[in-house]
Chains A and B, each alone.
Chain A
Amino acid sequence: GAVVSQHPSWVICKSGTSVKIECRSLDFQATTMFWYRQFPKQSLMLMATSNEGSKATYEQGVEKDKFLINHASLTLSTLTVTSAHPEDSSFYICSARDPQGINGELFFGEGSRLTVL
């Protein structure tokens, strides 16, 4: 089946540094990818919709200058957490839809756990 891969799975960084997370669709082309964030014992919250070749659409309350999204190709979207702070520590997950898939199922990446010291 369709696979979405994220990298890195784990990242620990110092406060003030920037961290880039990659999301790849491995065997299908995804014009749209979604980025979510999940804090412990809470639901996944949609941060932004990543559109290939155009600007991302951010959800209310998500700072576009802090969470930079680039969707330069049909198989890759990146999320960069700029000037990360401890409160940005979270589980970041991307998802993409296989346009050839059944019922429009969204496939999720493995997630990237960010810890900011």
Chain B
Amino acid sequence: RKEVEQDPGPFNVPEGATVAFNCTYSNSASQSFFWYRQDCRKEPKLLMSVYSSGNEDGRFTAQLNRASQYISLLIRDSKLSDSATYLCVVSRSNDYKLSFGAGTTVTVRA
């Protein structure tokens, strides 16, 4: 079983729509959680960290459910520029080794 699993999508949504997707992780000892964004043929860039209480950054909301071992990302009022692959990233400890999901592709259409 992969350490981090994501629905690859693609999620094709119109501008202005809300899109949400989850990621599951297998190691219950995981401590840190992140969503990264990766554009085609580019390096990943941190979108947001995910905190136990859930957190919001503008149009983006992240949730963590430790009991069920999943994290989620919700994008409100989608923009064309939100089109990208969103990587779920989990760290088991504070040694900064990260485990990456394969990514969920989101395409926002005009």
Contacts from A to B (Cβ < 8 Å): 32, 34, 36, 41-46, 49, 91, 93, 95, 97, 103-106, 108-111, 113
In the complex where A42-B102, A43-B102 touch, is A32 in contact with B96 (Cβ < 8 A)? Answer: yes
Contacts from B to A (Cβ < 8 Å): 4, 8, 32, 41-46, 49, 87, 94, 96-103
Query: Are B100 and A44 in contact, CB atoms less than 8 angstroms apart?
Result: yes
Query: Are B45 and A106 in contact, CB atoms less than 8 angstroms apart?
Result: no
Query: Using Cβ atoms and an 8 Å threshold, which residues of chain A touch B43?
Result: 93, 108-111
Question: Nearest Cβ in chain A — how far from B55, in angstroms?
Answer: 11
Main secondary structure of the interface of A (DSSP, over half): strand
Nearest B residue to A96 via CB reads B96
Query: Using Cβ atoms and an 8 Å threshold, which residues of chain A touch B96?
Result: 32, 34, 97, 104, 106
Main secondary structure of the interface of B (DSSP, over half): loop
Query: Using Cβ atoms and an 8 Å threshold, which residues of chain B touch A97?
Result: 96
Query: Using Cβ atoms and an 8 Å threshold, which residues of chain B touch A108?
Result: 43-45
Nearest A residue to B94 via CB reads A104
Question: Nearest Cβ in chain A — how far from B40, in angstroms?
Answer: 11
Query: Are B45 and A113 in contact, CB atoms less than 8 angstroms apart?
Result: no
Query: Are A41 and B102 in contact, CB atoms less than 8 angstroms apart?
Result: yes
Query: Are A43 and B103 in contact, CB atoms less than 8 angstroms apart?
Result: yes
Query: Are A105 and B102 in contact, CB atoms less than 8 angstroms apart?
Result: no
Query: Are B49 and A103 in contact, CB atoms less than 8 angstroms apart?
Result: yes
Question: Nearest Cβ in chain B — how far from A96, in angstroms?
Answer: 9
Query: Using Cβ atoms and an 8 Å threshold, which residues of chain B touch A46?
Result: 97-99
| Residue among A44, A97, A109 facing the most chain B CB atoms (10 A cut-off) | A44
Nearest B residue to A42 via CB reads B102
List 24 interface pairs A-B (beta carbons < 8 Å), by A numbering. Answer: A32-B96, A34-B96, A34-B98, A36-B100, A41-B102, A42-B102, A43-B87, A43-B101, A44-B98, A46-B98, A49-B97, A93-B43, A93-B44, A95-B98, A97-B96, A104-B32, A104-B94, A105-B46, A105-B49, A108-B45, A109-B43, A110-B43, A111-B42, A113-B41
